[in-house]
Amino acid sequence: MEAPLEDETPAGALAGIEVPDHGEELKASDEALTLMSSFEPAELQKCVFPDSLVTVSESGRDLGRFSVSVEFARRGQQTCMLLHAQSQGAIDDSPCGTTVTAYLTTDLEVLEEDYHEYVKLEGHSLDKRCHMVQRDGQLVINKVTTVGEEVTKESASYPMSVLSGLVTEGSNLLLMRLIALRNKVPEQMTFISFDQGLHIIHTTFSELGLKQLEVGDEMVEVFGVQRIVHSVEDSPTIWQCYFLPNGHLASRVQVGSPVTMRLLQMPSQLEKGFEKISLLWEGDMQMRSKFLDRKEELKADHASYLRQHPEIRALISDFLQFLLLRKPDDVFQFAREYFLPFASRRPPEPNLTP
């Protein structure tokens, strides 16, 4: 997670943009606020699983991958939800991608979120980074946009008291998953969000109903949820997502875009079995606390080892770049041939035979 920028604009101000008086800002509907506070621990538990979709063009060409994972985590002393979403691919052979990492309360309130988007064009790259974090009753937002060599920095700070019903890029993905599990979108679902200029705007959710969708070799019934993100200056952005009855994302598309994200095969029965088993211990707060403590301990130990051996990251990075350049059909054979020369350089094992 990135640290906030040191040269941020003072709290309550937006670099180069006039922030309206908080009393004039848009608000979420009462129905939306009620929904966000109504989710039970058992519902959140059902959301703890990963999704992986393929991104395809209108002609069916494979353009990349989209993944979302949700898990319980700990931020400081607070148990929360950790959501990580990533989209990677290429459009017109130009690498592009988006990464979102968000720490959310059980009421879907944002504790901290990091958003990164990039498009690498020949001689004209675009890179957007936005970091928001709760601090002293404020949500502090720092945004950096890099176009070629030009860097633009913006900052804003809003009291949490005016951000009830806030839905961000991260919390939106978890909210949709929870709504899909209920198989119903209540009426008057108007939340608030931020536009590209960090202004408060409205974002609305509505029900698309049921339809049949082909997933792998099966025709399955999926439930649709539509999200409309309004804007102060531009046209609204509309996202349509369809979910399986168990909450897994089956299809995701931005209206007007030629790109579609879709599920290639049904989640395995093995995965479902593990989800059921996990409920036995994750429902026990003491066991969950021990698990999270051990998890943080292992993460710290692994991070320490990687810092002591920077050659690991370099080796993996080189391998992935070579792999993506060659795009072999047999990845295992390719990896074997790639790493075999490294193994041959190791000193021979001592002969311990008497």
Q: What is the pLDDT of residues 214-251, one digit of tens each?
A: 998 889 999 999 999 988 777 889 999 999 999 999 99
Clarify whether residues 324 and 185 are in a common domain. Answer: no
Clarify whether residues 52 and 106 are in a common domain. Answer: yes
Clarify whether residues 228 and 309 are in a common domain. Answer: no
Clarify whether residues 167 and 79 are in a common domain. Answer: yes
Residue 94 belongs to a domain: yes
Where are any strands of DSSP class E within the chain? Answer: 50-56, 62-75, 78-91, 94-104, 110-119, 126-135, 138-147, 150-159, 189-194, 200-215, 218-229, 237-243, 249-254, 260-262
Clarify whether residues 133 and 185 are in a common domain. Answer: yes
Clarify whether residues 113 and 59 are in a common domain. Answer: yes
Clarify whether residues 217 and 307 are in a common domain. Answer: no
Contact in structure between 202 and 191 (CB atoms under 8 Å): yes
Clarify whether residues 306 and 191 are in a common domain. Answer: no
pLDDT at site 300: 77
pLDDT at site 286: 59
Q: C-alpha angle with apex 344: 339 to 348, nearest 5 degrees?
A: 140
Domain count, the chain: 2
Clarify whether residues 214 and 184 are in a common domain. Answer: yes
Rounded distance between C-alpha atoms, residue 89 and residue 98, angstroms: 9
What one-character-per-residue DSSP string does 165-206 give? Answer: TB--HHHHHHHHHHHHHHT---S-EEEEEE-TTS-EEEEEEE
CA nearest to 299, candidates 107, 73, 36, 140: 73
pLDDT at site 342: 59
User: Is residue 116 classed as helix, strand or coil in its secondary structure?
Assistant: strand
pTM above 0.85, yes or no: no
Clarify whether residues 247 and 302 are in a common domain. Answer: no
Dihedral sign for Cα atoms in the order 157, 159, 165, 170:
positive
Residue 237 belongs to a domain: yes
Burial of 191 (0-12, 13-18, 19+ CB in 10 A): buried
Both tokens of residue 166?
């806030």
Q: What is the extent of the structural domain holding 148? A: 30-266
CA nearest to 89, candidates 59, 117, 51: 117
pLDDT at site 158: 96
Which residues in the chain come in under a pLDDT of 70?
A: 1-25, 268-291, 293, 341-354
pLDDT at site 164: 95
pLDDT at site 169: 93
Clarify whether residues 227 and 317 are in a common domain. Answer: no
Contact partners, residue 273, CB within 8 Å, separation at least 6: none
Residue 274 belongs to a domain: no
Rounded distance between C-alpha atoms, residue 206 and residue 200, angstroms: 20
User: Is residue 278 classed as helix, strand or coil in its secondary structure?
Assistant: helix
Residue 82 belongs to a domain: yes
